[in-house]
A and B are shown apart, each in its own frame.
Chain A
Amino acid sequence: MYTIEKTHEIADKIFEIWVNAPHVARNARAGQFVIIRTDETGERIPLTISRASGDLVRIVFMAVGKTTHALAAIKAGDAIADIVGPLGHPSEIKAWGTCVIVGGGAGIANTPCIAEALKAAGNTVIGIIGARNAGMLILEDEMREACDELHVTTDDGSKGRHGFAADVLKEIVAERKVDAVWIIGPTIMMKITSMATKKKGIKTFVSLNPIMVDGTGMCGSCRCQVAGKTVFACVDGPEFDAHEVNFDQLMQRQRYYMDQEKEALARWNQHVCSCGEGR
């Protein structure tokens, strides 16, 4: 069992939890992820490592399905059954020159760490973070701290620029020389946003989040098409060259269990209503 030391709703339906997991925290690097299982009947789900500090790992996630709702309902001092990691390769941190880090929605979770690592490696780092509205924007302070400049967008204009992160990225790459770009967010957002750097051939990384089970390369559930080849996001990724990823196929595979996910969430909501658990 792994204790949740702190938990906090940092934005609308977006939570941060700090899990006591020395084996993960002491070895985590920017860009990696964990797989967690909340309890004995739980499923294994991958979540990005937002930050590691001492023996604690910070995970930032949006309550979307049953497992994330259950995770959000865990109180500080309680525990989750399992956390394995850090998994996957770290981000490719080196002296690129000028880097742009784009985070969308809950995908902003691990952008501060990547930005900090790139900054420490001597890069100029430009941040763009976007959310649906001001109430769903996360980690703005950390990104402002980590980046040389930060742009904020909201879909509804309630904060920062009215529009999408992709709009800002397009302008930046039109005006300046950019050497590497990270785009992390919902799959559709990564697909659309990465088009902004394709023509110019700017090296662009996206962090893929397909359905996983073990996270160690043993099941193949997370297989994706990158540059026409089958790769396992868990051990070959999670970051890949955006311009080589078959996003449509990824989205198709992410939808496979939609019916069961709805059913599980409905059961959870019923459970919360009947016993008053949760938030």
Chain B
Amino acid sequence: MGDRPADIRVRDFLEVDCGLTADEAVAEANRCLGCKKPACVDGCPVNIDIPAFIGLIAERKFTEAALSIKTQNMLPAICGRVCPQETQCEVLCILGKKEKPVRIGQLERFAADEERRTGIKAPVKKAATGKKVAVVGSGPAGITAAGELAKEGHSVVMYESLHLPGGVLTYGIPSFRLPKDIVKAELDQVLSLGVEVKLNHFVGRSVPLDELLSYDAVLLGTGAGLPYFMGISGEHLNGVYSANEFLTRVNLMHADRFPEYDTPIAKSSRVVVVGGGNVAMDAARTARRMGAKVTLVYRRRAEDLPARLAEVHHAEEEGIEFITCANPTRILGEQVVTGIECIRMKMCELDASGRPSAVPINGDTFTIDCDVVIQAIGQGPNPVLVREIQGLERGRAGNVVADGDGRTAHPKIFAAGDVTTGAATVILAMGGAKKAAQSINSLLATR
């Protein structure tokens, strides 16, 4: 079915990508060679048996396909949409060498959507172990760990400081990329395992640390929600937002529907988004849907944009203007933003990430008129809880230091997701959470 036309979709927040029809999915599934040693599986952070579920789709056994995925990944409708398959499973598909790789992400999504349409079956769980685990945060890491631990028969309490669960899936990723009813459906399925979710609980404040440590084990999945600011002048002007704030106001609080909803947001005609990652694309496309002309400023070249290529294309189709090789130097205005001054950047030798380091060209500045500036230059690990727990080792970025299996320096505390890695992807957080859940399992088995 493909994407909805750009001129229509910029007027609403409905999903851009309509997915595959059953016939399209079956045809796509039939392209899969069913490799004996499937390289795609190696690229999947949660090791989904990709040829197996694709084989089931080819046989039109859609629900079975979804169940097959769900033995490894409880959130297939979400991952089918937001995983960067093009750099994970699909890039390793043998068909990609000659033609196009199998569209694994689309097939995953299709199977999950079909299962949801026909009624999700409650997952099976083992007999109660009597062990209690606290999961802090209800984003991708927290949900995954909670689901895995509940399936093992542990009693799980999941704490969330916001009034809705889902973490970045709820407050961060816009509904045109990830509809919120899908987030809710996959979350509800995890909660149906008996996971108790306590909303409005800010662990460390609403839940004292001694209470937290009274659980048999703790999984920290508090994410990377600390917004970075550039530190340039004018950042305190009205109209300067972190991408987190802008997206939260819209996704969580529905400020786009003010005054029906009470949360306000800038009435803006011209927005500049700073940054080149997925969050920057989300912010730009959200502002576009609210009627603004949007310019995105990125300090390196177009080919260095860290966002998924598909998101960059979507943004371009929707009329987002890209200015690359430029970096803001100050934000202009008296009380409210009136513009942003940028300097052109020269691309120099490649750095450790394989991208050219960007160096400002002295004196080569220009100004963009705007009334809103959204900074989407990255987020750090949420520091509040982490810095208050004695016995945790913290990395330079304020992240929790954990080994590959989610173990921290504290014997009872495990960690997964962005709080350990800094801002990364949903699926990496889920992969980390699965491993941490296994480590917790082993710990609880020995007691």
Contact = CB atoms under 8 A, between A and B. Distances in A.
B235 A230 contact: yes
A75 interface: no
Contacts of A41: 254, 260-262
A216 B384 contact: yes
Interface centre among A27, A216, A217, A219 (most CB of B within 10 A): A219
Contacts of A255: 238, 335
A86 interface: yes
A39 to B, nearest CB: 9
Interface centre among B235, B239, B241, B262 (most CB of A within 10 A): B262
A85 B202 contact: yes
A222 B171 CA distance: 18
Interface in B240-282: 241-242, 244-245, 248-249, 253-254, 258-264, 266-267
Interface string B195-225: 0001111100111100000000000000001
A267 to B, nearest CB: 5
A85 B236 contact: no
A84 B254 CA distance: 19
Nearest to B336: A256
B365 interface: no
B126 interface: no
B238 A218 contact: no
Residues of B contacting A: mostly? loop
Interface in A106-145: none
Contacts of A32: 205
Contacts, number: 121
Interface string B168-199: 00010000000000000000000000000011
B91 interface: no
Nearest to A260: B264
A24 interface: yes
B383 interface: yes
B226 A217 contact: yes
Given A23-B206, A27-B205, A213-B249, A218 B227 contact: yes
Nearest to B255: A43
A6 B258 CA distance: 30
B206 A27 contact: yes
B248 A218 contact: yes
Given A216-B161, A219-B248, A85 B206 contact: yes
A176 B69 CA distance: 74
B163 interface: yes
Interface string A200-224: 0000000000000111111111010
Contact of A220 (B239, B242, B267): B242
Contacts of B229: 220, 223, 230
A86 B181 CA distance: 30
Given A41-B260, A214-B161, A252 B238 contact: yes
Nearest to B264: A260
Interface centre among B205, B229, B258 (most CB of A within 10 A): B205
Contacts of A98: none
B335 A257 contact: no
A257 B225 CA distance: 24
A221 B384 contact: no
Contact of B245 (A24, A84, A219, A249): A219
Contact of A24 (B206, B253, B254, B260): B206
Given A253-B236, A255-B238, A217 B382 contact: yes
B120 to A, nearest CB: 25
B200 A84 contact: yes
Contact of A87 (B205, B244, B253): B205
B383 A23 contact: no
A235 B171 CA distance: 19
A257 B264 contact: yes
Nearest to B161: A216
A264 B225 contact: no
A5 interface: no
B163 A219 contact: no
Contact of B244 (A66, A218, A230, A257): A218
Nearest to A88: B205
B162 interface: yes
Contacts of A215: 202
A27 B200 CA distance: 14
A8 B249 CA distance: 32
A173 B383 CA distance: 38
A264 B236 CA distance: 25
Contact of A84 (B163, B225, B260, B335): B163
Contacts of A216: 161-162, 202, 225, 382, 384
Contacts of B238: 252-253, 255-256
Interface centre among B171, B227, B267 (most CB of A within 10 A): B227
A84 B206 contact: yes
A263 interface: yes
Contacts of B239: 256
A77 interface: no
Contacts of A220: 227, 229, 241-242, 244-245
Contacts of A44: 163, 253, 263
A235 B201 CA distance: 15
A136 B84 CA distance: 58
Nearest to B160: A84
Contacts of A174: none
A81 B208 CA distance: 23
A23 B162 CA distance: 14
A216 B199 CA distance: 13
A218 B205 contact: no
A225 interface: yes
Contact of A86 (B206, B236, B267): B206
A82 B382 contact: no
Given A42-B262, A220-B244, A82 B227 contact: no
A261 interface: yes
Given A23-B200, A41-B260, A213-B248, 5 more contacts: A43-B262, A87-B202, A213-B245, A220-B245, A223-B236
6 contacts: A41-B260, A214-B161, A216-B202, A220-B244, A235-B384, A264-B264
Interface of A: 23-24, 27, 32, 37, 41-44, 66-67, 81-87, 213-221, 223, 225, 230, 235, 249, 252-253, 255-257, 260-261, 263-264, 267
Q: Which 3 A-B pairs have the closest CB atoms?
A: A260-B264, A219-B245, A218-B225
